[in-house]
A and B are shown apart, each in its own frame.
Chain A
Amino acid sequence: MSALTGLTIAEARAGLRARQFSARELAAEHIAAVAAARPLNAFLAETPERALAMADAADQRLQRGAARALEGMPLAIKDLFCTEGVLTTAGSRILDGFKPPYESTVTAKLWAAGAVMLGKANMDEFAMGSSNVTCAHGAVENPWRRRGDNRPLVPGGSSGGSAAAVAARAALAATGTDTGGSIRQPASFCGIVGMKPTYGRCSRWGIVAFASSLDQAGPMTRSVRDAAIMLGAMAGHDPKDSTSAPVAVPDFEAALSGDIRGLKIGIPREYRLDGMPAEIEALWQRGIDWVKAAGAEPVEISLPMTKYALPAYYIIAPAEASSNLARYDGVRFGLRVPGGSLDEMYENTRAAGFGPEVRRRVLIGTYVLSAGYYDAYYLKAQQVRTLIARDFEAAFQRCDALLTPTAPSAAFAIGEKQDDPIAMYLNDVFTVPVNLAGLPGISVPAGLSADGLPLGLQVIGRAFDEATVLRVAEIIETAAGFTAKPAFLAGGG
């Protein structure tokens, strides 16, 4: 890891403005780091020339004193975001060769803020997974290893490539998307910060859709302040997205006052699972102590519908996905496997193009929407979803933010938990309710497991109150003093 690749956005911002180094130097070091990080398989596409060109443009603006919010910052972009003219595959064979003729709104905003693209980050296929082993182009390795154990670990998913890149210092920060925990859980597994904003805070236009009512883009960074800075650039109403909320973007960085005195922090009793590892329980308790020490008041609250969130999610998300993925048919883009008839062509293409997890979820989704089952499954799940949202609403009458663990375990080995889909789904038990209710949530690295792996704590807030979420998260970040680094660090120097 070089000096420059170890910076945060905030530090790089200061350094660039003070001309301690140029954007080109910053980009060049990261380009080298990306190459060095190849063993992790975190990137599906590297764009070094583009990065240097963007860095040069950033240097010009810096020289003129016209620097924008993310001027010169080298980012990894999850391959779910359509980047104009640059291969975008959503981690799937079925999008082989696809070069979008348009740029997603979120990435367009990042480039308009001066950021620099290092490449497209690996991910679980179509964002379906919690381990980044389902990508058509191979699994991503977590740069962290268990103490005294050489087995490669999963980085979490689906934004596993993004998390690994940021943790390994191959990118200053990355974009992710979160549908059931896909930013927060890999952030927890990789010891970085990952935020899912309120549903509607960031535009979904140009992001390959998985589950339309749940997907949200968000920042993955090495500090809470960085997440605030990056979210400020990513967020904003988009008239091209009918679910984009017409709300103003506050100055998230300015909200980091460091003061949470008087806030009530809800501790949901139903998140205390049977058989939860003691060290996670202990970490959670430490988190509660930290916020108390900072002048906030922990309040026990109840979210009775918690255990039904995962099954509801595994009806709603696959149902929406089965419809969203119908467009991948070999006709207009991506893979086409020939067939004697149109239907044969569809069937061959989709069988070859979709991996087993995607296929599973498309079939589940097709089934739960099919004639005779809609009421029992989809309708029921949407009703349960209303109840879950009501749980949170009631909780937020009594507190300003919630504190929970992010994941029920630390990162596990690649190959573990792979045979049982349900065991894999349970990774998202703490994160999924937040997506169903559309609320903002962040994961902050808060401690290490017994074998030296990162563990995250999650802060959940009211709709559009990312400011409070970030403020509480920063307190935890400060109190935790997490400075551990992964075994694998990219880059020279």
Chain B
Amino acid sequence: MAQPIRGSSGDWEMVIGLEVHAQVVSQAKLFSGAATDFGAEPNTQVSPIDAAFPGMLPVINRHCVEQAVKTGLGINAEINLVSVFDRKNYFYADLPAGYQISQYTRPIVGKGKITLDLADGSTREVGITRLHLEQDAGKSLHDQHPTLTYVDLNRAGVALMEIVSEPDLRSAEEAGAYLRKLRSILRYLGTCDGNMEEGSLRCDCNVSVRRPGAPLGTRCEIKNVNSIRYVMQAIEHEARRQVELLEEGGVVEQETRLFDAGKGVTRAMRSKEHAHDYRYFPDPDLLPLRLDANWVEALRRSLPELPDAKKARFIEHYRLSPDDAGVLVAEQASADYFEAVARGRDAKLAANWVMVELYGALNRLGLGIERSPVSAAGLGELVDLVIDGTLSGRLAKEVFAAMIETGKGAAVLVEERGLKQVTDSGAIESAIDAVLAAQGEKVAEYRAGKEKLFGFFVGQVMKATQGKANPALLNELLRKRLAG
């Protein structure tokens, strides 16, 4: 249950709806054959269609349609077999035609839902109102010149899926969880790469506050927030701003705001907002889009196992905790990696190695799992050596570090460095005898009751065996020896 905002005059509830613009993974744009790659030289990926030259006409990219339908299926939504493209008319420098081809009254996807995984382990279902396809706009750069804005149309016409949530979210945490889950689903489906820094996923946040149980308050829209962290910050700030305003007796104006990441605050957009009358009407250059029900069904059957289903299966089949399962399924590549390691091995051990050691190393190196220097097979080999007793857990970690650094396999490194765990009782006993012989005083103290010294002896024996002594065996033999 989301925490209410404690205002000076009582509790307030925040109500949040998120509009996510997800750039569709495709080679070419939604209505033209220009490329969609990120970071190209300005205006080098622009067709005369994208630049709205006279006489140019749109033709729809069927792959983008498929991506939108797949996404709709992935969020458990109704697919509308007939949808219509409408023109949304307004003027801006990065909107060459003076209208955006979008979908207004009849979007391609209707109502759906997403399950949020919350920090306390609970889940909550949140509704999605709709998903529609639309063109992205170009980019305006306002900081290149003192009196001019520079316009790059490379992005103009790229396919976007606009995904609108119901105003069901009640906290910044939930908003973060929603975005994480949505992003995960999109990446699983391969319909959007979810890269917020590059702008392939952008979020507009609609925030309002109200007394619990009261009708909805006036909402403000915070546009184009480009990280999950900023979304959460922006929502927190904005909710508080509205509460303070209302408690001072003020009124929340419906307005569009921007999040200033540097200052951590939202501010109203400086430009005088022309009353936006978009004059939507069906685009006469296009016909209604009709989908074949059989095709949609076939698409549904072809979807990969999605995060929620995978998580449930991991819990059931690998007996992982919901937390661990949740971490592993966040990215499909990680989940696949884990399963490859877990196959035929102890799943809990495999999970631990992946989540702690592997993820730790990848984080330090700043790599995604796709670029892991250690493959799943390689890690599996290492885990086998732990399971069969060749390596102690501690040594295995050292070997792992060496695997990352050198790229060599576990068995090879163990041979090279002679790291095999000592499980020969005789050898351990010799080491123990040597240590105890050298530590006569301490032995006497121990036998007199200073039990804490046990750890000291363990450390000494480990040192003497270069860490290779099997810990369990060491403990057993040491106890026997000390007991006299």
Determine direct contact between A and B, CB below 8 Å. yes
Q: Which residues of A contact B (CB under 8 A)?
A: 81-82, 88, 90, 95, 98, 100-102, 104, 204-209, 211-213, 239-243, 319-320, 322-323, 326-327, 329, 331-333, 342-343, 346, 366, 369-371, 374, 378
Within 8 Å of chain A (Cβ to Cβ): is B27?
Answer: no
The 0/1 profile, CB within 8 Å of A marked 1, for residues 75-109 of chain B is: 00000000000010101110011110000000000
Given contacts A102-B48, A323-B98, contact A242 B279 (CB under 8 A): no
Closest to B85 in A: A242
The 8 A-B residue pairs with the shortest CB-CB distance in the complex, in nearest-first order:
A326-B98, A369-B279, A212-B284, A213-B284, A327-B52, A206-B55, A208-B54, A371-B277
A205 near B57 with CB under 8 A, answer: yes
Contact among B54, B285, B286, B287 for A100, CB-based, below 8 A:
B54
A320 near B284 with CB under 8 A, answer: yes
Within 8 Å of chain A (Cβ to Cβ): is B58?
Answer: yes
A332 near B96 with CB under 8 A, answer: yes
11 further interface pairs, Cβ-Cβ under 8 Å (given A242-B58, A243-B286, A333-B54)? A82-B54, A102-B48, A208-B55, A243-B57, A323-B87, A323-B279, A326-B97, A332-B51, A342-B93, A346-B91, A378-B281
Given contacts A371-B277, A378-B281, contact A343 B54 (CB under 8 A): no
Give the docked Cα–Cα distance between A374 and B280 (Å).
9
A242 near B55 with CB under 8 A, answer: no
Closest to B46 in A: A332
Within 8 Å of chain A (Cβ to Cβ): is B38?
Answer: no
Within 8 Å of chain A (Cβ to Cβ): is B406?
Answer: no
B55 near A343 with CB under 8 A, answer: no
B286 near A242 with CB under 8 A, answer: yes
B60 — which chain A residues lie within 8 A by C-beta?
A: 242
B55 near A204 with CB under 8 A, answer: yes
Within 8 Å of chain A (Cβ to Cβ): is B151?
Answer: yes
Within 8 Å of chain A (Cβ to Cβ): is B53?
Answer: yes
User: Between A and B, how many residue pairs show CB distances below 8 Å?
Assistant: 99
B98 — which chain A residues lie within 8 A by C-beta?
A: 323, 326-327, 329
Contact among A88, A239, A241, A378 for B54, CB-based, below 8 A:
A88
Given contacts A242-B285, A327-B97, A343-B91, contact A207 B55 (CB under 8 A): yes
B54 — which chain A residues lie within 8 A by C-beta?
A: 82, 88, 90, 95, 98, 100, 208-209, 327, 333
Contact among B58, B93, B277, B286 for A331, CB-based, below 8 A:
B93
Within 8 Å of chain A (Cβ to Cβ): is B149?
Answer: yes
Given contacts A101-B48, A369-B281, A370-B277, contact A242 B93 (CB under 8 A): no
Given contacts A326-B97, A346-B91, A366-B279, contact A332 B53 (CB under 8 A): yes
**A–B pairs, 23, beta carbons within 8 Å:** A82-B55, A102-B48, A102-B53, A204-B55, A209-B285, A212-B285, A213-B284, A240-B59, A241-B59, A242-B286, A242-B287, A319-B281, A322-B89, A323-B87, A323-B99, A327-B52, A327-B97, A329-B98, A331-B96, A331-B151, A369-B279, A370-B279, A374-B280
A362 to chain B, nearest CB (A): 11
A374 — which chain B residues lie within 8 A by C-beta?
A: 279-281
A211 — which chain B residues lie within 8 A by C-beta?
A: 284
Q: Which residues of B contact A (CB under 8 A)?
A: 48, 51-60, 87, 89, 91-93, 96-99, 149, 151, 277, 279-281, 284-287
B284 near A329 with CB under 8 A, answer: no
Give the docked Cα–Cα distance between A213 and B52 (Å).
18
B53 — which chain A residues lie within 8 A by C-beta?
A: 100-102, 327, 332-333
B277 — which chain A residues lie within 8 A by C-beta?
A: 370-371
A342 near B285 with CB under 8 A, answer: no
Closest to A244 in B: B57
B321 to chain A, nearest CB (A): 53
B87 — which chain A residues lie within 8 A by C-beta?
A: 323
B58 — which chain A residues lie within 8 A by C-beta?
A: 242
B285 — which chain A residues lie within 8 A by C-beta?
A: 209, 212, 242-243
Closest to A331 in B: B93
Give the docked Cα–Cα distance between A90 and B284 (Å).
20
Give the docked Cα–Cα distance between A262 and B190 (Å).
62
A204 near B48 with CB under 8 A, answer: no
Contact among B48, B57, B280, B281 for A242, CB-based, below 8 A:
B57
Closest to B97 in A: A327
Closest to B60 in A: A242
Given contacts A204-B55, A206-B55, A326-B98, contact A243 B287 (CB under 8 A): yes
A319 — which chain B residues lie within 8 A by C-beta?
A: 281
A263 to chain B, nearest CB (A): 32
B55 near A209 with CB under 8 A, answer: yes
B189 to chain A, nearest CB (A): 27
A325 to chain B, nearest CB (A): 8
A98 — which chain B residues lie within 8 A by C-beta?
A: 54
Give the docked Cα–Cα distance between A242 and B101 (Å).
14
A179 to chain B, nearest CB (A): 12
B51 — which chain A residues lie within 8 A by C-beta?
A: 332
Give the docked Cα–Cα distance between A90 and B183 (Å).
47
Give the docked Cα–Cα distance between A177 and B59 (Å).
22
B99 near A326 with CB under 8 A, answer: yes
A89 to chain B, nearest CB (A): 10
Give the docked Cα–Cα distance between A88 and B53 (Å).
12
Give the docked Cα–Cα distance between A100 and B56 (Å).
11
B284 — which chain A residues lie within 8 A by C-beta?
A: 211-213, 243, 320
B89 near A323 with CB under 8 A, answer: yes
Contact among B52, B57, B89, B286 for A369, CB-based, below 8 A:
B89
B279 — which chain A residues lie within 8 A by C-beta?
A: 322-323, 366, 369-371, 374
Closest to B151 in A: A331
Give the docked Cα–Cα distance between A326 and B279 (Å).
12
A342 near B55 with CB under 8 A, answer: no
A104 to chain B, nearest CB (A): 6
B280 — which chain A residues lie within 8 A by C-beta?
A: 369, 374
A378 — which chain B residues lie within 8 A by C-beta?
A: 281
B157 to chain A, nearest CB (A): 13
B281 near A104 with CB under 8 A, answer: no
Closest to B47 in A: A102
B96 near A327 with CB under 8 A, answer: yes
B85 to chain A, nearest CB (A): 10
B99 — which chain A residues lie within 8 A by C-beta?
A: 323, 326
B55 — which chain A residues lie within 8 A by C-beta?
A: 81-82, 100, 104, 204-209
B144 to chain A, nearest CB (A): 15
B82 to chain A, nearest CB (A): 16
Give the docked Cα–Cα distance between A410 and B149 (Å).
53
B105 to chain A, nearest CB (A): 10
Give the docked Cα–Cα distance between A95 and B48 (Å).
16
B474 to chain A, nearest CB (A): 77
A342 near B149 with CB under 8 A, answer: yes
Closest to A378 in B: B281
Give the docked Cα–Cα distance between A370 and B281 (Å).
10
Give the docked Cα–Cα distance between A329 and B174 (Å).
43
A343 — which chain B residues lie within 8 A by C-beta?
A: 91
Give the docked Cα–Cα distance between A208 and B96 (Å).
15
Give the docked Cα–Cα distance between A205 and B99 (Å).
18
B89 near A326 with CB under 8 A, answer: yes
Looking at B53, B60, B286, the one whose CB has the most chain A CB atoms below 10 A away is B53
Closest to A325 in B: B98
Closest to B279 in A: A369
A87 to chain B, nearest CB (A): 12
Give the docked Cα–Cα distance between A209 and B60 (Å).
19
Give the docked Cα–Cα distance between A204 and B285 (Å).
10
Give the docked Cα–Cα distance between A152 and B52 (Å).
38
A213 — which chain B residues lie within 8 A by C-beta?
A: 284
B225 to chain A, nearest CB (A): 24
B119 to chain A, nearest CB (A): 43
B454 to chain A, nearest CB (A): 78
A24 to chain B, nearest CB (A): 31
Give the docked Cα–Cα distance between A331 and B48 (Å).
14
Closest to B287 in A: A242
Looking at A204, A326, A370, the one whose CB has the most chain B CB atoms below 10 A away is A326
A102 — which chain B residues lie within 8 A by C-beta?
A: 48, 53
Give the docked Cα–Cα distance between A101 and B49 (Å).
12
A299 to chain B, nearest CB (A): 33
B60 to chain A, nearest CB (A): 7
